Amino acid sequence: MSVRVGVVVFPGSNRDVDALRALELAGAEPVSLWHESADLQGVAAIVLPGGFAYGDYLRAGAIARFSPAMRAVSAFAAAAGLVLGICNGFQVLAEAGLVPGALLRNRSLRFVCRQVTIAPERLDTPFTRAIGERRPLRMPVAHGEGCYYADEATLDALERDGQVLFRYVDDDGSPALDPDDRANPNGSLRGIAGVMNAAGNVAGLMPHPETAVEALLGSDDGLLIIRSLVESAGERLAAGRPTAVGAR
Amino acid sequence: MSQPAAEFRFAVNVTPKPGILDPQGRAVEQSLPHLGLSSVSAVRVGRRVELTVAVPNETEARAVVDHLARELLSNPLIEVYGIELLGATSSTVSSVVAPMPPDAAGPEVAS
Provide the domain count of chain A: 1
Alpha carbon of A41 to those of A31, A153, A247, B3: distances in Å? 8, 39, 10, 47
Question: B109 falls in which pLDDT band (50, 70, 90)?
Answer: very low
Q: Is a pLDDT exceeding 90 seen at residue B70?
A: yes
pLDDT score of A243: 66
Residue A172 in domain: yes
Active site residue A210: yes
Q: Does the beta-carbon distance from A63 to B73 stay under 8 Å? A: no
Which of B23, B47, B77 is facing A107, going by the closest CB pair? B23
Q: Is a pLDDT exceeding 60 seen at residue B102?
A: no
- pLDDT one digit per residue (tens) for chain A, 248 residues: 689 999 999 999 999 999 999 999 999 999 999 999 999 999 999 999 999 999 999 999 999 999 999 999 999 999 999 999 999 999 999 999 999 999 999 999 899 999 999 999 999 999 999 999 878 999 999 999 999 999 999 999 999 999 999 999 998 889 999 999 999 999 999 999 999 999 999 999 999 999 999 999 889 999 999 999 999 999 998 888 766 654 33
Task: Give the residue among A63, A38, A67 at the shortest CA–CA distance from A52.
Answer: A63
Which of B23, B24, B75 is facing A59, going by the closest CB pair? B75
CATH number corresponding to B6-19+46-106: 3.30.1280.10
Residue A245 in domain: no
Mean pLDDT within B55-79:
96
Residue A248 in domain: no
Q: Does the beta-carbon distance from A147 to B73 stay under 8 Å? A: no
Provide the mean pLDDT of chain B: 84
Residue A244 in domain: no
Expressed as residue numbers, the domain containing A87 is 4-238
Q: Which residues of chain A neighbour B77 with C-beta distances below 8 Å?
A: 101-102, 149-150
Residue A26 in domain: yes
Cβ contacts from A onto B, under 8 A: 34
CATH at A51: 3.40.50.880
Residue A110 in domain: yes
Best of B15, B21, B24, B43 to substitute, by most chain A Cβ atoms within 10 angstroms, is B21
pLDDT score of A114: 96
Which one-letter DSSP state was computed for residue A214?
B
Tell me the domain boundaries of chain B.
6-19+46-106
Residue A150 in domain: yes
Active site residue A147: no
Residue A247 in domain: no
- Beta-sheet strands, E only, within B23-104: 47-55, 79-90, 95-96
Enumerate residues 6+ apart whose C-beta is below 8 A from A72. Answer: A38, A39, A40, A244, A246, A247, A248
Question: B105 falls in which pLDDT band (50, 70, 90)?
Answer: very low
Q: What is the pLDDT of residues B40-52, one digit of tens each?
A: 999 999 999 999 9
Q: Is a pLDDT exceeding 60 seen at residue B96?
A: no
pLDDT score of B3: 63
Q: What is the ipTM of this complex?
A: 0.82
The answer to whether the CB of A64 falls within 8 A of the CB of B39 is: no
The answer to whether the CB of A148 falls within 8 A of the CB of A202 is: no
The helices-and-strands tally (H runs, E runs) of chain B is 2, 5
